[in-house]
Chain A
């Protein structure tokens, strides 16, 4: 029905017969969208005397904010750490394919690489909105090369570096440009890391601790200088010890500056962490848990050999190892699988599982006013899921960009 809209002529869509995730709860409410943002229907009704142009019956689906993946190294044969000629089309392919996993925004991640790779690849990554073409890009996540040799994991040793000579300048020279960089993972026990962390934080870049042998006080110092994230908790760091919990101890540290929260990424594919460890972390600090995939080029493809930057990895089922070793290197999990596995393993509520993949990453990056929630005026990036948390449809800016084919293809 035509509506009298004094504010805008754009069509208003009302999603009915659904349960939306709002205020940390699934509520039986309608979702109203206009011009790519979530609309406040009460304001529309009383102030503009407006009404919906289109009503869509969601058949009792769950509507949740779109997932945000802050650590994904590639997928579908594309490796973000490889400077190929068709890099741009590679990133486009991944951003389009992950829509079916419920990811509406992501941070393409580069593992430890030689400076030439950074200089060639980073200028080709630009922050951009999502849409029918694919998920939005929030900025790059640079995991390395300023990490510990002892905890390099799958990262190539010959590319590891330190910044003890020139601190931030060294970092800048290595990466070339920090224009579209959103997150940097480094090892805080490295000399002069505090200066680097401060400089990065000043530029609005999120600093993450990972691939490190730091003890708890070194980690706490890093947090005091601005670090806010832990890269794949438990993996590539010292194990929890009751007299020196190491980086894991940040989850319950009392030295975190007031008003700040430490977030930690977890790859809940059932392989990187034992479900019991996942539960310990979740129970210790539920509000900081951020689900990440750490997916590699082989994700979405058949088992076999694929690359991860300078390394060759072998995929066998859900396991991904450096070829010929038992060193884990990334995963082939998809974000929606991680959400489901997390919910199953911890027995947490559906709301908690969904927020770990949407609200918490948005809070980590300081964008929760427009992403990661279904609050009024935030970006209308959302998913329709069934009760078992399988994605049925993905929407970006209020437009449907992916729908589960009824035939299940």
Chain B
């Protein structure tokens, strides 16, 4: 695991963005596919709080992605399980996930894999924990009855199949979850802890998120920042390289 500790939310975001940029360049200008992890069911596609709206406003409209390359689980599909199975097939067909980017819930969940989710689960329909529903209430004017109670989500196993996993954790309210994820054992009550068994995991966090970690842990990884910052140095741009795939650069291994 690489633990990257930045001072605050903006710096953590910037580091993560640069890392993703580098990884995209390294991946080469192939048919880069993009999958989004999880989607509450029951929300109409153009509801302002739907994942479609969220992804459009925060990502898609700012870049030149073609719509055919976007795969978001459809929470309004007639057969939800079939939708999930098809999603898994699409991932396989695209050659598997190269880099999975996700956050962590205060209860240590990855995607919507709430405490108690199987660590080998696949994409499926999941009921949401009360904690998550409460956390999401702020998007629905605090009205609990309006918050969806189920979600389609990639499973822990699905994410474990990715070649690299990057988890973004910012804020003091996530500190305990981060502690459980990396300093305690692998436990299905804190599903992010599953990534201790993944060969290539990257946690990017801000100072506040480290509040529950041992000082020793924090000092160790801060000491490695000199090495880790090399990961976000600008690479050759694809335009400069022409059509050549840059095969020489590999991600650092632990």
Contact = CB atoms under 8 A, between A and B. Distances in A.
B66 A51 contact: yes
B52 A46 contact: yes
Interface string B219-251: 000000000000000000000000000000000
Given A46-B45, A46-B56, A41 B66 contact: no
Give the contact-size bracket for chain A. 10 to 19
A60 interface: no
Contacts of A42: 46, 52-53, 56-57, 61
A46 B67 CA distance: 7
A252 interface: no
Contact of B60 (A1, A4, A45, A47): A45
Question: Counting chain A CB atoms within 10 Å of each CB, which of B57, B67, B70 scores highest?
Answer: B67
Contacts of A1: 66
A46 B61 CA distance: 11
Interface string A31-44: 00000000001110
A45 B68 contact: no
B36 to A, nearest CB: 12
B45 A30 contact: no
Interface string A41-62: 1110111111100000000000
6 contacts: A41-B56, A42-B53, A46-B52, A46-B56, A46-B70, A47-B45
A153 to B, nearest CB: 50
Given A30-B61, A41-B61, A46-B56, A4 B68 contact: yes
Contacts of B61: 30, 41-42, 45
A46 B44 CA distance: 12
A42 B66 CA distance: 12
Contacts of A47: 45
B67 A45 contact: yes
B245 to A, nearest CB: 23
A328 to B, nearest CB: 49
Contact of A50 (B52, B57, B67, B70): B67
Contacts of A49: 66-68
Interface string A1-24: 100100000000000000000000
A51 B56 CA distance: 13
Nearest to A46: B52
A51 B52 contact: no
Nearest to B45: A46
A50 B67 CA distance: 7
A41 B46 CA distance: 11
Interface of A: 1, 4, 30, 41-43, 45-51
A142 B52 CA distance: 50
Interface string B45-79: 11000001100110011000011101000000000
Nearest 3 CB-CB pairings of A with B: A49-B67, A42-B56, A45-B67
A51 B67 contact: yes
Contacts of A46: 45, 52, 56, 67, 70
Contacts of B68: 4, 49
A6 to B, nearest CB: 11
A1 to B, nearest CB: 8
Contacts of A45: 56, 60-61, 67, 70
A4 B45 CA distance: 20
Contacts of A4: 67-68
A1 B67 CA distance: 12
Contact of A43 (B46, B57, B66, B70): B46
Interface string B25-58: 0000000000000000000011000001100110
A183 to B, nearest CB: 37
A1 B45 CA distance: 26
Nearest to B72: A46
B165 to A, nearest CB: 27
Nearest to B57: A42
A30 B60 CA distance: 13
B213 to A, nearest CB: 38
A1 B65 CA distance: 12
A252 B214 CA distance: 65
Interface in B144-182: none
A118 to B, nearest CB: 49
Nearest to A47: B45
B44 to A, nearest CB: 12
A30 B63 CA distance: 12
A46 B66 CA distance: 10
Contacts of A43: 46
Contacts of B66: 1, 49, 51
A291 B158 CA distance: 60
A42 B45 CA distance: 10
Question: Counting chain B CB atoms within 10 Å of each CB, which of A4, A45, A47, A50 scores highest?
Answer: A45
Nearest to B66: A51
Nearest to A48: B67
Nearest to B62: A30
A9 B46 CA distance: 23
A390 B203 CA distance: 50
Nearest to A32: B61
A335 to B, nearest CB: 32
Given A4-B68, A45-B70, A46-B67, 7 more contacts: A42-B56, A45-B60, A46-B45, A46-B70, A47-B45, A50-B67, A51-B67
A51 B60 CA distance: 11
Nearest to A50: B67
Contacts of A41: 56, 61
A41 B57 CA distance: 10
A49 B69 CA distance: 9
